[in-house]
Chain A
Amino acid sequence: MWMKVALFATCLVDNFYPHVAESMVRILNHCGVEVEFPEAQTCCGQPAFNSGYQEQARVVGRTLLDAFGNYEYVVSPSGSCTGMIHHYYPYLFDSNPGLAGHARELVTKTYEFSQFLVNILGVTDLGAQFAHTVTYHPSCHGSRLLGVKQEPLELLARVRDLNLVELPHAQDCCGFGGAFAVKMSEISTAMATEKADWVTETGAEVLVGTDMGCLMNIGGRMRHMGRPVRVMHLAELLLEGMEQGSGVRG
């Protein structure tokens, strides 16, 4: 098996968390997948779209249509940005006959990372080993808009020595919500505080997720509260586990 995919890094990972995208590349390589990074991509436009500025979202989102036109698969480290494409791109580009078709096509070939591994590659066991207590926060857009619920858990279930503890009220939003976190700061902080309290209650050493926006929010809140927890994207955890376990040697 050999395939080539395009990586949609998302603006957040590109600028703040490059190691997350790098971990994805390593894991995909390990699964026999070559990764390309089309430089025309910037951002999916979601920050502007959710704030009501759709024209601005459209001009930015267009960079993705330009970047990924020639690829069979597009893979992203974010359920939220993937959800933006799936849920809103057909609507956003509907009025432009030249782009509407491209937008619909992008929907059919764009996958969130765990979704791509489990559903397209059929991989759940990466030979990883990670001897830590971990709790998982299911991000709202990934799980609700995109319907990625089981995939991250299936991947975590196959990591040896990993002690997964359930996060109470896991499905409650962490309060990120993009511009919401700044605009409605106090409400957002109350939500993040409750999430942080539940994470602390699990006693987990590591909080894992599939969206760096949410993880930046929860991790940033916990650090501010003086209760830092190690925050990891699923791809980082899996790669670190593969280096510990048999994965990379296999």
Chain B
Amino acid sequence: MSAGAKDRTSVIERSHAALQDDFLRAAVRFTTDRLKDRKHGATEELGRWEEWRERGREIRAHTVSHLDYYLRRFVDNARAAGAEIHFASDAQEASAAVLGVVHAKQAQLVAKSKSMVSEEIHINRRLEEQNVRVVETDLGEYIIQLANEMPSHIIIPAIHKTREQIKDLFTRDGGQNLGTDTKALVTFARRKLRETFLTADIGMTGCNFGVAESGSVVLFTNEGNADMVSALPKTHIVVMGMERVLPTFADLEVMANLLPRSATGQKVITYMSVITGPRRAQERCGPEELHIVILDNGRSSQLGDDEFRDVLHCIRCGACLNVCPVYRHIGGHAYGSVYPGPIGAVLTPLLLQGEEFADLPNASSLCGACYEACPVKIPLHDMLVALRRRAAGGPRTKRAERAAWRGYALAFAKPGRYRLVTRMARLAQTPLQHDGYIESTWGPLMGWTNSRHAPALAPESFRDRFSRMKQDVRTIKSDPQ
């Protein structure tokens, strides 16, 4: 977890820090703009994108509403193929399952490929506590691990890092005279990571999709590191969220069209690995053992919640982050948990009860760009409102806020009261206004007036003016043109 979360800061405090960091903001703007443009190009080229989205939504909705059936099928088929299944109801149980395998194998080094669910259970910290070395092998994750930070984007974990900062991290890690040239940096990382692939005792991955009809684990990467991690070490541990299941390979085809296009604007993912059980007798590579840890960690309570069930449709593409104007300005760490952006603002308060996450649903202007970008049409903006509703009037809301909305309802529920209150406000503002604007920067609206001029109430409301307006309705014979 970030230092911020430990300090119990609010999203307001965390975003204040982010907003002072021009490097971070420039880096996030640059990359999200590029991803957005590329996504636009890739979806235009495919054509009928809205139909693809609807198909994606249908597949996820069908699967999630029959999750017990498809998960059982996935488990049965994976076991039949030789995988060992571990069910974990929370992060602690999942870590215990992983550590159980690590201890049984007396493993010293674990090579990981990028996985949000492993971030969710903080497995790296658990392994390091047991003196087991963990190396992230996705380039972005590797950078973040060297910096001792959390990923700040679901797909581009080091989105907030500049080339200069990466050079410094690599140099500290043993690179000599590294410049900021991409080739030099990548060559350094490649050399380090290859050592890891070849010497790791255990490979650990997430799971983009589990195909129920075959019990296969499907992994998407652009660097091919998941292939290395899952094929070279003797033991492969998969950690998967229990909702990651798809019924068939035909469904996978739809997701293989939606995910890379939405994530990075690629037509096709560079490496897609389908892993069905451990190495068989006649096969020359692959692990001797395959362990699949299936994690609940709050997912079953979302499954039972009509308002939030759809959040389980998420395929972790990050498209909502790339279009979010709030994410654009504050980056990922300000969200304070492993899932940033609009999906994080919904998911985090559902998964974690901490006070430091309570304000996340307020960190949105409800512009709806996230819903528009989502390849499986999760109504994130509606969910943010629903989360606010659940918090409203509760112990974490300010007394002044509750009073303000009570006052609003009282004054605006009856037209007579509304007229009286707005007339009184018109009188009250007289000493504060100048040239049609309120000049005071004091009071409950100073969040507005500190950075924006506020208009004064008009001398006369429209309803008062309307009663004197004479309408000159033009008679038009047929068409008003």
Contacts and interface: CB of A to CB of B under 8 A. Distances in A.
B329 interface: yes
B353 interface: no
21 contacts: A1-B478, A11-B412, A11-B418, A14-B463, A21-B462, A32-B474, A42-B412, A42-B415, A43-B412, A47-B408, A49-B385, A52-B392, A55-B409, A63-B415, A140-B367, A175-B325, A177-B365, A177-B367, A190-B329, A193-B451, A220-B453
Contacts of A33: 473
Interface string A208-250: 0000000011011101100000000000000000000000000
**5 tightest A-B contacts by CB?**
A177-B365, A52-B388, A185-B447, A52-B392, A220-B452
Interface string A179-222: 01111111111111110000000000000000000001101110
Interface of A: 1-2, 9, 11, 13-19, 21-22, 25, 29-35, 37, 39-43, 45, 47-56, 59-60, 62-63, 121-123, 125, 140-141, 144-145, 171-173, 175-178, 180-194, 216-217, 219-221, 223-224
B363 A187 contact: yes
Given A42-B418, A181-B447, A190-B19, A52 B391 contact: yes
Interface string B445-472: 1011011111111101111011001011
Contacts, number: 217
Nearest to B460: A18
Nearest to B445: A182
A48 B365 contact: no
Nearest to A194: B329
B33 to A, nearest CB: 8
Nearest to A177: B365
Interface stretch (B47-55, B216-224, B239-247, B368-376): B368-376
A245 to B, nearest CB: 14
A184 B363 contact: yes
Contact of B481 (A2, A51, A123, A220): A123
Nearest to A4: B473
A125 B481 contact: yes
Contacts of B390: 52
B364 interface: yes
A62 B12 CA distance: 34
B321 to A, nearest CB: 14
Given A18-B462, A123-B480, A191-B325, 11 more contacts: A9-B462, A17-B455, A34-B473, A41-B415, A52-B389, A144-B368, A173-B365, A181-B447, A184-B12, A186-B19, A220-B454
